[in-house]
Amino acid sequence: MITGTVDMTHGGGGRAMADVIRNVFQRHLTNPILDRGDDAGLVSVPGQRLVMSTDGHVISPLFFPGGDIGALSVHGTINDLAMMGARPLYLTAGFILEEGFPLDDLDLIVRSMAGAANAADVQVISGDTKVVERGKGDGVFITTTGLGVVPDGLDLSARHVRAGQAVLVSGTMGDHGVAVLSKRENLEFETEILSDSAALHGLVADMVAAVPGIVMLRDPTRGGLAATLNEIATTAGVGMILDEAQIPVAPDVAAACELLGLDPLNTANEGKLIAICPAGDAEALLATMRAHPLGRDASIIGEVIEDSAHLVQMRTAFGGTRIVDWLAGEQLPRIC
């Protein structure tokens, strides 16, 4: 076990850096590939369709209700792979540490990362650590890169989105953003709101097996549901019409958003997905999603329509219609 705080010697390539690698990173992330100590992890995946994704994590605060930057860095990259229908295989991790950061906190973060990776049956096979001077960082930033394999014949993409298809979500919107904001601003609600941070590849595997006709998947992280659906509509050259009554939002999240002047549809999620499928498959897909622990609150929230303006619209609870637009700026910075 190593104690104290990060200092510049921990990024200098000498004994201090080796001690941190051995006593923090290797202790938690140990596996035969990483333990070789090479400059890169060597894997063999012959005859497979591979997908890679990289994600940087700069969340503030580092620890929040329901998670921390360590687990989040694993979940975020795994979910990027999962949205392509991939089974995640390996991760690499890059750490930017600030001088003075407590090594006990670093140990907690790496332990959490290891737990999340082990739960997802994914190995962290390579990594890098750099240290910046005190005041030149914000504790720790983590970048993870993931490698996954996509089954033959599966091609999930906005290119396949067409009018008449159904739009589904796997659960309640806005949980992560409100959980992080509550910790950041020291807000107390009647019940503690937890982040939904989770790895979604198991849910995706069940969905693809049950409904091979799924057109595309996307996780609504920064910008929330509204930004993600607008991005899809613009890319696919279509419009969407949503039903407000069918969009799931936890009552405590809805109340917190009302108090804070936020819209749950613009608020980040880290353990939810959007699925688009043929209308005839929607009920079967919904049943499959609800049978999984991470999809128990799934809902069919709308449909894809023809619209040359590529607008996302919503039928409100009052019987009217409003535009669900992109945010002009970032509602909650440093959210992932």
Please check whether residues 56 and 20 belong to one and the same domain.
yes
Considering the domain architecture, whether residues 171 and 279 belong to the same structural domain is answered as: yes
* Residue 13 confidence (pLDDT): 58
Q: How far is CA 34 from CA 39, 219, 244, in A?
A: 9, 29, 48
Is 34 a member of any domain?
A: yes
Q: Which of 150, 168, 203 is the last residue of a domain?
A: 150
Residue 331 covered by a domain: no
Last residue of a domain, one of 127, 150, 173: 150
Same domain, 179 and 306: yes
Q: What pLDDT, on the 0 to 100 scale, is given for residue 129?
A: 93
pLDDT means per 10 residues, the chain with 336 residues, are 79 73 86 73 76 91 96 96 94 96 96 97 94 93 94 90 97 95 80 93 97 95 90 93 97 90 92 98 98 98 96 92 81 80
DSSP for 103-146 reads HHHHHHHHHHHHHHHHHTT-EEEEEEEEEE-TTSS-SEEEEEEE
Q: Is 318 exposed, middle or buried (0-12, 13-18, 19+ CB in 10 A)?
A: exposed
Asked if the peptide bond before residue 61 counts as cis, ω within 30 degrees of 0, the response is: yes
Query: What is the CATH number for 267?
Result: 3.90.650.10
Same domain as 162, residue 143: no
Query: 71 and 139 share a domain?
Result: yes
- Whether 334 maps to a domain, the answer reads no
Phi and psi angles of residue 272, each rounded to the nearest 5 degrees, phi first: -130, 160
The per-residue pLDDT for 1 is: 66
134 is in which domain, residue-wise?
8-150
295 vs 309: CA distance, rounded Å = 32
Contact present, 164 and 231 (Cβ < 8 Å):
no
Q: Which of 276, 232, 216 is nearest to 82 (CA)?
A: 216
pTM assigned to the model: 0.89
pLDDT at 246: 97
**How much is the pLDDT for 191?**
75
Output phi, psi for 240, to 5 deg: -140, 150
How high is the pLDDT of residue 57?
95
- Report yes or no on 336 lying in a domain: no
Is 177 in the same domain as 55? Answer: no
CATH number at residue 37: 3.30.1330.10
Looking at residue 193, the DSSP 8-state letter turns out to be: P
Which residue among 150, 184, 202 closes a domain? 150
